[in-house]
Structures are given as C-alpha cells and as structure tokens.
Amino acid sequence: MAQFIDPKSGEVLSLPLQSETSGLNFGDAKMTHISYKKEFSDIRQVTSLRLLVDFAREHDIPALEILKGTELDLDDIEDPYCEIQVWQELRAIQNLLEIDDDPANGVILGMRQHLTCYGTLGFAMMASRTLEQALTIGAKFYKISLWINEVSVVRDPDTIKFVILGHKLPPFSQHFLATRGMAALVTWVQELTNSEVYPCQTSFKNDRPDNMDEVGKAFGTETLFGQKNYSISFNRSLFRMQLKFDDRWSRMRLEDKLSNTLERRHSSTKNRVKEMLGRVRQGGVISAVAVGHRQAALAVMCRG
C-alpha cells in the first residue's frame, strides 16, 4: 500500500499496488516493484553502471549477473547515449555485493570516476576559477553527476569537511556508495588541482578492514574507522587556488547546457510517474477517493 499526503487537506491517500516484487530487500521488508521504481526514478548517465560491469569482469563475474533484474542488457550499457534510472544502478550494486562484498569495492570504483566520466559537468568543473567554484557547480548539478548520496558541508577555520549522508538509501548500498563518493571526490580534487593532494582526514562508519591497500591509496594515512559518519576533510587553502583551465565563458555555456539537461530529465521523470499511475488505475486498483486526488498525489511524488 503506497501512501501520499494531499498538500491541501493533509489527508493521507492510500494507493493499493500490485503485488509484483522487485526482489530488492530494504531492511526487513520488500518494496513493490512499482514503488521501488518511483522512489529512485531519477535519470542519470549509464557511466557508473558501466564502470561497475567492467570491474565485475575483471573479477571474473559475468556482466549478465550484474545486470540481472535491471531491465538492461549489454547493448544498453555500451550505448554512449544511454540513460538509466537510479533504481537500476542500485539493483546492479546489490547484485555485485551479493557476489563480492569486499568493503574496498566502492573505493576502487570511486577512484575510476575521473572528471571526463561526467561529460558536460566534468568540463564545467574544469573550466571553473577555483576548486570551491568547481565543487559548487558539482553540488548544483549533482543529479546529473554519478553521485547518489546527499552531502552536508561543514566549514571550519582551516578545513572544509564533507559529510556523506546515506540514510535515505537502501541499507545494503550505504557503505558502498559513501566510500565510492569519497574516493571520487579525492579524484576530482587531484585532477582539478593537478596535484597529488590527499584529505586531511577521512572517517568511516565501518571497522578497519583487513586489507588497507586500496584505502591508503585513495585517502592517504589519516583515516579513522568506527565513526558516527562517513566524512572527508580537505585543507581550506586548496579551495582558493586558481585552476589551470579557468574559462568563464566556456563555464557559462556549459552550465546553461546542464540546466537544460536537468529540466529535460525532471520532465521525463514526471511523465513516467504519470504513466505509472495510469497503468495502476487501468488495473482497477485505485479507490474512488484516490482517483479524485490523483493530481495532488502526483504533485507530491514529483516535488522538487
């Protein structure tokens, strides 16, 4: 049973859903296939999924095992113009972790997310005046990036800390996505500054792994384990450095293109949700009250 709140009356609307299950376990209860797709339906590039498949192949895991349940095939991920939804990448991540749950997997894959993997966004960041401006652009268009986590920024006199949030994500994915994002951030900083700079400090929620090689390679030596949050801190002076490829006019053109892409993807997501509600309604499973309020429910589902 999916529930939505009417923004005007505050009434809770219940939409009975069909019983087809996704097979994805969110804690103790399985979500329905339709509900799961709605919750993580944002559109993104296929790039990070392609990197995941390449990583699996290197470890003798068949690509089709990673793509199981994603509704994607090898031709899809080889298409340079392919776009996927977040739920498809989450399913692929679960498939990998069910076969190989090494806690360093996310770190390794994050180190492979070079700026060029981000297409227009990566080039807009490279054309920025400073590292702070580059990361501000990355945050502004994070839904276009390969990130899934939300991030909180803490500014201290000498450092800037990025706290990686994962509480809204499926439990099975939280460590993988946090460490992948943190390693990707280090890769960005090193490529933007053209220097082998490392974080002042990195914190993980998990216990210290037996194999520290990949962690040390990505984050240096100032790494803490068993902490309350995943976080990564850099020296604040880094963020004032002028970048090598600073180009205001190119950056403005690229940001305009990114805004158009974001709007197109947002519109596409709303259309998919509308079609989803239509399919459920045709099956005769929405109550009369829910049908009367479907536009309000749709507005809540597609907010933001």
Domain ranges of the chain: 33-101, 119-257
> How high is the pLDDT of residue 290?
40
CA-CA distance, 137 to 112, in Å (whole number)? 20
What span, in angstroms and rounded, lies between the C-alpha atoms of 235 and 61? 39
- pLDDT on residue 252: 94
List CB contacts of 140: < 8 A, sequence separation 6 or more: none
Q: How far apart are alpha carbons 44 and 262 in whole angstroms?
A: 10
What CA–CA distance (Å, rounded) separates 156 from 233? 10
Query: Is 132's pLDDT higher than 70?
Result: yes
Of the two residues 86 and 14, the one the predictor is more confident about is 86
User: What is the per-residue DSSP string for 210-255?
Assistant: S--HHHHHHH-S-EE-S-SSEEEEEEGGGGGSBPTT--HHHHHHHH
Q: What confidence category does residue 275 fall into, taking pLDDT thresholds of 50, 70 and 90?
A: low
Q: pLDDT grade, residue 221 (50/70/90)?
A: confident
Task: Tell me the HSE value of 71 on the side-chain side, using a 13 A CA sphere.
Answer: 10
13-49 pLDDT tens trace:
333 332 233 333 333 333 334 456 778 888 888 999 9
- Confidence category of residue 266, pLDDT binned at 50, 70, 90: confident
Of 271, 250, 287, 210, nearest to 16 (Cα)?
287
Residue 4's pLDDT is 36
| Torsion over CA: 114, 133, 266, 39 (sign) | positive
Do 214 and 104 form a contact (C-beta atoms < 8 A)?
A: yes
The pLDDT mean for the chain works out to: 80
Give me the helices (H) in 74-212, please: 74-78, 86-99, 105-111, 120-126, 131-140, 174-193
Q: What is the mean pLDDT of residues 235-248?
A: 92
**Banded pLDDT at 264 (limits 50, 70, 90):** confident
Choice among 136-145, 150-159, 162-171, 227-236 with the minimum mean pLDDT:
136-145
What's the pLDDT tens digit per position in 52-78? 999 999 999 999 999 999 999 999 999
DSSP assignment letter at 147: -
Q: What angle do CA 271, 146, 301 make, to 5 degrees?
A: 30
Please give the model's pTM, rounded to 2 decimal places.
0.75
Residue type, 90: L
